[in-house]
A and B are shown apart, each in its own frame.
Chain A
Amino acid sequence: MILFVKKYLKHIVIAIITIAYFLISPIVQQRLALRASDLVVVSDPLPPLTQDARMFVDRIRLINVRDGVFQMDGWGFVILDSKIVPPDYERTILLVSDTNVFALPTVDVQRKDVTSAFENLGLNLIKSGFASTFQNNALPKGDYIISLLFTIPDGTQTRYDSRFELHRTYNSIYLVEPDN
């Protein structure tokens, strides 16, 4: 055995380095991509959950094949006594797993359909849609609950958990609606 190792030491070292590179490089690359991406690691305790909100995630889709950029589309709003609506407050997507929480900035999207669907609330929800992009490789493996963080102009924050989950596996990413 010792003789074998001595005889083929160079090749054994090359094999070990190759396998180590094969297994470890994606982890290193994910961490580098996370640093360079818009994903923000949330380390503070999360604000309380509210039930007075509505949210839906329409889809996630690959919008840039070369860089592996995905876009998440949906809508969401919080029902407040002050009747304020997006874009009067800020909305941030939270991806919450057992070990990590990531925040994603959103841009407002017009949604006439949401306005008409929630006519009874008396809110102007024309800007209740949101879109957010993120790089696939930046997100570590895990199952994430998709949540929406509302930051009201007075600085108070509240959040609403959707029934959607984002499943990031080793090589893919997909949206799951557990009830469905």
Chain B
Amino acid sequence: MISEQSQSSFFDYLLAGFLPLLSVVYFVVFTYATNVEILTLSSIWGILGVLAVIALLIFILWSLFQKKKPYQSAFAAFLFMLLFLTYGGVHNLLTKANFIPIRHYNLMVLVVIIGLYLGWFISKLSFDLTKKLWVLLTSLVGILILFNLTRILPTEIQKHSLKSQSMDTQTATVAVDTTGKPDIYWLIFDEFAGFDVMRDYFNYPEIDNFVRDLEDLGFQVVENSHASSYYTLHQISTRLNYESLPSDLKEVEYYKYIADNKVMSELKSRGYTTVVLDEAGSADFGFQAKTPVNADIQLEDYVESTDASSSMVFGSFGLLVARQTMLAPLTVYYNLENEGVARHRDTIYFVSDKLARLVLPKPKFVYSHLLFPHMPFMFTENGSYLESPYYHDWDSYLGQYKFSLKVIARTVRSILDEADPQNPPIIILQSDHGARNLVNDSLGQVGLENYGNEYKTSIMYAVYAPGCQDMPLEDGIDPVNTFPLVFNCLFDMDIPLQ
């Protein structure tokens, strides 16, 4: 009899423990569902594991405190976890309300004591009532989890099928005559403001020295070119398909347009080797769920990171979740940015120093997309490193921009140094959009004052194409014409300009 009781009790504990665990699962799944288009499923496991262990520990502690009351313990642990998981949000709300001084050390004590008292009240409830409440709450949380899974699943299936399609369509380079075909470099510098914005808003007339240097090298520099939006995915998919796409599509739609695009299909059919370095998909602060571009060579593996720490448990999604919970005060000690930033820095140096020297089959089309001078603003104008508080400070943008001019100049020179003078390459320098002055108010970020909307779409656009002197590059031209201009010249195509 005693054995049966203890077995039944053990089973009850096992069952009861699901409630606090489900609360954690719901919280993580809900947050993931909200960001499903830009994240990968693998990002949830670290934080889910940490929170699940915490929920179990709290349940065990309550079980030790409330002996032989598994459902009361589970209910108490569930309520405590609710406070635990919403702590960060409550802290932010009260801090913003600004009625009383809010610090972690005073608010957390208050919340923990409220949690303990809630558990104590629960211990006064009868076994039957708490079991009924347990069933009700478990069902409710289960339904909420299922609801969020229905939000996640279609997108995950879509992402997965895009990846499979992308792999399936990787075809061998077609054997065609490629004699005399130049290499083509399309170098995107994300968030690089147009030259007019540098002169007019940032009061940096020295930008004309950079423009002059480009022209001296043989570049045609387009002034006053504006992107049709200031959304990276929209711009890249528009240009890679020379088609004005709607700017309000879902991220996964743009992933599709970028992964299998007209430009690279055309070039592959003409015997080009396609080479991609896409920080927009690979960087921590990019679109992690982005489908890899369907190319012959992905250069991410060529970048040697000098700080390849494997200690990352949370990642950016984990940190997003942790900041909403009682782990929030600890997140300032968790230096997520170190590894991501080191990788980003190494990718920038890779493009400026090594990209041109890679021995790759010719002719090649190299698409390099650096999230630079995009946030994080981590460089001064001389290339020394800023500390992380400056990473989102728009006052640091100009310094990083000036350093990006040096990176661009170095990249271009190394490409030209390595090039065959008898068959010079085509180099297209562009930004996807201009400096957007985006800030996160909740993090206290401050943007640039009196910054006009028209500046956000003003881009860099310069082309080195010695074999295409008649290319009709006019000031103000729409960048959707980037590749039609090149293809019309190189392959005598007749793609109408827009």
- Please report A residues at the B interface, Cβ cutoff 8 Å: 11, 14, 18-19, 21-23, 25-27, 29, 59, 61-66, 169-172
Tell whether, in the assembled complex, residue B106 and residue A62 are in contact, meaning their CB atoms are under 8 Å apart.
Answer: no
Rounded to whole angstroms, the CA-CA distance of A64 and B386 in the bound complex is 12
With A22-B107, A26-B101, A171-B98 known as contacts, the answer to whether A62 contacts B444 (CB < 8 A) is: yes
- Closest partner residue, chain A, to B449 (CB atom): A180
Q: Using an 8 Å CB-CB cutoff, how does the interface string of B362-397 with A read, 1 for contact, 0 for none?
A: 000000000000000000000000011110010100
Tell whether, in the assembled complex, residue A170 and residue B389 are in contact, meaning their CB atoms are under 8 Å apart.
Answer: no
Rounded to whole angstroms, the CA-CA distance of A66 and B393 in the bound complex is 17
Tell whether, in the assembled complex, residue A59 and residue B395 are in contact, meaning their CB atoms are under 8 Å apart.
Answer: yes
Write out the residue numbers on chain B whose beta carbons fall within 8 Å of the beta carbon of A61. 389-390, 393, 395
14 A-B pairs (CB sep. < 8 Å): A14-B113, A18-B113, A22-B107, A22-B109, A22-B110, A25-B105, A26-B101, A26-B103, A63-B387, A63-B389, A65-B388, A170-B102, A171-B102, A172-B95
Write out the residue numbers on chain A whose beta carbons fall within 8 Å of the beta carbon of B98. 169-172
Tell whether, in the assembled complex, residue B110 and residue A170 are in contact, meaning their CB atoms are under 8 Å apart.
Answer: no
Tell whether, in the assembled complex, residue A170 and residue B113 are in contact, meaning their CB atoms are under 8 Å apart.
Answer: no
Write out the residue numbers on chain B whose beta carbons fall within 8 Å of the beta carbon of A22. 106-107, 109-110
Write out the residue numbers on chain B whose beta carbons fall within 8 Å of the beta carbon of A63. 387, 389-390
Rounded to whole angstroms, the CA-CA distance of A11 and B117 in the bound complex is 9
Rounded to whole angstroms, the CA-CA distance of A14 and B95 in the bound complex is 25
With A170-B98, A170-B100 known as contacts, the answer to whether A25 contacts B393 (CB < 8 A) is: no
Query: Does B333 have its Cβ within 8 Å of any Cβ on chain A?
Result: yes
Q: Which of the residues A11, A66, A170 comes within 8 Å of B101, measured between beta carbons?
A: A170
Tell whether, in the assembled complex, residue A18 and residue B101 are in contact, meaning their CB atoms are under 8 Å apart.
Answer: no
Write out the residue numbers on chain A whose beta carbons fall within 8 Å of the beta carbon of B107. 22
Write out the residue numbers on chain A whose beta carbons fall within 8 Å of the beta carbon of B102. 26, 170-171
Write out the residue numbers on chain B whose beta carbons fall within 8 Å of the beta carbon of A23. 100, 106
Tell me the minimal C-beta distance from A153 to chain B in angstroms: 34
Q: Which of the residues A19, A59, A65, A169 comes within 8 Å of B389, measured between beta carbons?
A: A65
Tell whether, in the assembled complex, residue A65 and residue B332 are in contact, meaning their CB atoms are under 8 Å apart.
Answer: yes
Write out the residue numbers on chain B whose beta carbons fall within 8 Å of the beta carbon of A18. 109-110, 113
Tell whether, in the assembled complex, residue A21 and residue B109 are in contact, meaning their CB atoms are under 8 Å apart.
Answer: yes
Write out the residue numbers on chain A whose beta carbons fall within 8 Å of the beta carbon of B387. 63-64
- Closest partner residue, chain B, to A73 (CB atom): B395
Rounded to whole angstroms, the CA-CA distance of A57 and B99 in the bound complex is 28
Which residue of A62, A66, A171 has the most chain B CB atoms within 10 A of its CB atom? A171
- Closest partner residue, chain A, to B99 (CB atom): A170
- Closest partner residue, chain B, to A180 (CB atom): B449
Tell whether, in the assembled complex, residue B389 and residue A29 are in contact, meaning their CB atoms are under 8 Å apart.
Answer: no
Write out the residue numbers on chain A whose beta carbons fall within 8 Å of the beta carbon of B332. 65-66
Q: Using an 8 Å CB-CB cutoff, how does the interface string of B102-120 with A read, 1 for contact, 0 for none?
A: 1101110110010001000
- Closest partner residue, chain B, to A24 (CB atom): B106
Tell whether, in the assembled complex, residue A25 and residue B106 are in contact, meaning their CB atoms are under 8 Å apart.
Answer: yes
Write out the residue numbers on chain A whose beta carbons fall within 8 Å of the beta carbon of B95. 171-172
- Closest partner residue, chain B, to A30 (CB atom): B101
Q: Which of the residues B100, B105, B109, B390 comes within 8 Å of A29, measured between beta carbons?
A: B105
With A18-B113, A171-B98 known as contacts, the answer to whether A62 contacts B389 (CB < 8 A) is: yes
Tell me the minimal C-beta distance from B300 to chain A in angstroms: 30
Rounded to whole angstroms, the CA-CA distance of A19 and B109 in the bound complex is 10
- Closest partner residue, chain B, to A65 (CB atom): B332
- Closest partner residue, chain A, to B387 (CB atom): A63
Tell whether, in the assembled complex, residue A29 and residue B103 are in contact, meaning their CB atoms are under 8 Å apart.
Answer: yes
Rounded to whole angstroms, the CA-CA distance of A21 and B103 in the bound complex is 12
Rounded to whole angstroms, the CA-CA distance of A23 and B103 in the bound complex is 10
Write out the residue numbers on chain B whose beta carbons fall within 8 Å of the beta carbon of A169. 98
